[in-house]
Amino acid sequence: MATTKRLCWYVSLVSIIISMVVWNSKPYITESLSRNPVDITSNMSHVKNENNQSVLPILSKQEKKKEKYLVYLCDEKKACGGWGDRQRGIVSLFILSLVWKRTLKILISSPCDIKPYYKPTKEYNWIFTEEELKGLKGKRNTTLEFMHRCKPLYDTYNLNSSDIAEVLYIKTNCVSFLPIAQKYAKFLPAYLKNKGRASVFRESWNRIMIPTDKVLSEVMKIESSGVINSDAKKSGKELVCVHLRTYLTENLTYDCGGFPPVAVTKLWNFIDGHFHNKSRIFVATDHLGIRKSAISKYGTRYIGSYASNVHPDSMRSNLTLACRSQESAYVDQLMLSKCDVLIYYRKSGFSIHASYLKTEWRNIYSIMRNSKSTFSLVKEN
Ligand SMILES: *[C@@H]1O[C@H](CO)[C@@H](O)[C@H](O)[C@H]1NC(C)=O
Ligand SMILES: *[C@@H]1O[C@H](CO)[C@@H](O)[C@H](O)[C@H]1NC(C)=O
Ligand SMILES: *[C@@H]1O[C@H](CO)[C@@H](O)[C@H](O)[C@H]1NC(C)=O
Ligand SMILES: *[C@@H]1O[C@H](CO)[C@@H](O)[C@H](O)[C@H]1NC(C)=O
Ligand SMILES: *[C@@H]1O[C@H](CO)[C@@H](O)[C@H](O)[C@H]1NC(C)=O
Ligand SMILES: *[C@@H]1O[C@H](CO)[C@@H](O)[C@H](O)[C@H]1NC(C)=O
Ligand SMILES: *[C@@H]1O[C@H](CO)[C@@H](O)[C@H](O)[C@H]1NC(C)=O
């Protein structure tokens, strides 16, 4: 009980901070319709083969000695948060690695290794090999933790000091990647300067994280399932995707401020009123009742998701379940980013990031709950 309560508290706090950041940063956001062309289907030519040492830059011994590392760590010791938290932590550390001139590495082993699902780009090879680790100072048992404390990470302690270990392990879900990019703009490449929150996230993420074929083939399978109606296709809004996070998992009755399940009919009415009646519908949710409602309402127009939705930090005891559930979270988020229309929930990092990654910055709607039974919906562009 205590654990779940704490989780609820942090979900709310993090979400409030996000909402504040999102709203506060609105006037500065410069979004364009054509987005970073690094799309999830982009080819593999710039991806390094993990086992192929020949594509590693050849460093002289001198250079190797000077190289310092910044490691995003998510292991079984303590919570790292959900996929949204992890993505924020990775992006924040990516930006700090550019500022502090450290090589970024990513170690996610809990509940399930990330490497079968995401792989690095050639530009930023974040896989830490045993070879690289050998002889480096800096131990995992000195991992610094910045969970729900972001400012100290980039503003209070001087982690740029030359005295700091060659390998700096950090566990964080830092929400402030935009303030970091703004504060240290002069140390950053042009693609991160004077950008809004969505652009900073997308430009960073797509430069480091490439979904593997295993994940992409699942996304493509869903994307091509069901019946694609040609009239619906002509409307440009053929595939309508929704992410509804309720935070109301089974037997969890107190309120974390998620989407109210009783309001779901109103959302279906909105979809009916705005999009083609033969469009396909994809709904990712943590609530079985909402899923059942969507399936019974849309029948064969419903193409998913069917994934179980379990918080990664609570699945560490069953690896089979954990890996399957992680994989479906990765698949669902990518799926959401590929739809013609995206309706996302403004209090979920998972959902917000799906909107940031959306290939085209259009037909994006956000929803926010007003009370235990109502919500409001805003067109974002
Ligand atoms: C792969 O990407 C490279 C550069 O990113 C591009 O030059 C090439 O044409 C692409 N190949 C395919 C098959 O898409
Ligand atoms: C390593 O990569 C290079 C260039 O991409 C390729 O020519 C070579 O066959 C690869 N070697 C192995 C062992 O996979
Ligand atoms: C960390 O682990 C090393 C051995 O790997 C040990 O020598 C050291 O005392 C540990 N440090 C702390 C702070 O526990
Ligand atoms: C980090 O330290 C280096 C060397 O002292 C210095 O040149 C650089 O400006 C510092 N960067 C930041 C962000 O403080
Ligand atoms: C929820 O409660 C029911 C009835 O008490 C129980 O059978 C079920 O196992 C519980 N589910 C979980 C996930 O704890
Ligand atoms: C779908 O829309 C078309 C055109 O607006 C209409 O003729 C048709 O009856 C609708 N079908 C259903 C099942 O509502
Ligand atoms: C782990 O989860 C899988 C999939 O839900 C299930 O089939 C299996 O029985 C579970 N194993 C244990 C030890 O609980």
Residue 182 tokens, joined: 């703004």
Atom of ligand 5 nearest to the CA of 249: 13
Phi and psi dihedrals of 278, rounded to 5? Answer: -120, 15
Residue 73 is given by DSSP the state: E
Decide if 69-211 and 225-379 have a common fold. yes
- Please give the residue that has the higher pLDDT: either 39 or 218: 218
Long-range CB pairs of 82-86 (<8 Å, 24+ gap) are: 82/311, 82/312, 82/313, 82/329, 82/349, 82/350, 83/312, 83/326, 83/329, 83/330, 83/333, 83/349, 83/350, 84/348, 84/349, 84/350, 84/351, 84/352, 84/353, 85/14, 85/173, 85/349, 86/173, 86/312
Average pLDDT over residues 102-114: 93
Q: What is the pLDDT of residues 339-358, one digit of tens each?
A: 999 999 999 999 999 999 99
Choose the most confident range, by mean pLDDT, from 147-151, 164-168, 334-338.
334-338
3-class state of residue 209 by DSSP: coil
Choose the most confident range, by mean pLDDT, from 127-131, 253-257, 265-269, 306-310.
265-269
**Average pLDDT across the chain, whole number:** 83
Residue 47 is given by DSSP the state: P
Around ligand 7, the residues with Cβ closer than 6 Å are 318, 320-321
Centroid of ligand 2 to alpha carbon of 305 (angstroms):
38
Check if the beta carbon of residue 328 is closer than 8 Å to that of residue 1: no
- What are residue 327's DSSP bridge partners? none
pLDDT of residue 253: 58
Q: What is the pLDDT of residues 260-302, one digit of tens each?
A: 999 999 999 999 999 999 999 999 998 999 999 999 999 999 9
- Please, what is the angle between helix 83-100 and helix 349-357, to 10°? 60
Pocket probe for ligand 3: among 77, 133, 139, the residue whose CB has the most ligand atoms within 8 Å is 139
Radius of gyration for the chain, computed over Cα atoms and rounded to the nearest angstrom: 21
Q: Does 45 sit in the ligand 1 pocket, CB within 6 Å?
A: yes
* CA-wise closest residue to 99 among 36, 158, 167, 21: 158
Q: What is the pLDDT of residues 55-102, one digit of tens each?
A: 333 334 444 456 899 999 999 888 899 999 999 999 999 999 999 999
pLDDT of residue 76: 87
Average pLDDT over residues 123-136: 85
Average pLDDT over residues 323-342: 95
> What is 270-334 written as a DSSP string?
HHHHHS-TT-EEEEEES-HHHHHHHHHHHGGGB---------GGG-TT-HHHHHHHHHHHHHHHH
Q: Does 296 sit in the ligand 1 pocket, CB within 6 Å?
A: no
Residue 145 tokens, joined: 């933790």
- Please give the residue that has the higher pLDDT: either 20 or 114: 114
Read off the pLDDT band of 249 (50, 70, 90): low
Residue 307 tokens, joined: 């994934």
Calpha distance 201→124 (Å, rounded): 16
pLDDT of 13 > 80? The answer is: no
* Domain parsing of the chain, residue ranges: 2-60, 69-211, 225-379
Residue 226 tokens, joined: 């069901």
Check if the beta carbon of residue 348 is closer than 8 Å to that of residue 355: no
Phi and psi dihedrals of 219, rounded to 5? Answer: -60, -45
Q: Does 54 sit in the ligand 2 pocket, CB within 6 Å?
A: yes
pLDDT of residue 35: 53
pLDDT of residue 247: 86
Centroid of ligand 2 to alpha carbon of 71 (angstroms):
27
pLDDT of 11 > 90? The answer is: no
Q: Which fold has domain 225-379?
A: Rossmann fold (3.40.50)
Average pLDDT over residues 217-223: 97
pLDDT of residue 43: 34
Identify residue 341 by its one-letter amino acid code: V
Please give the share of the chain, as a percent, with pLDDT higher than 90.
Answer: 61
pLDDT of residue 27: 32
Instruction: Specify the CATH class of 69-211 in words.
Output: alpha beta
Read off the pLDDT band of 10 (50, 70, 90): very low
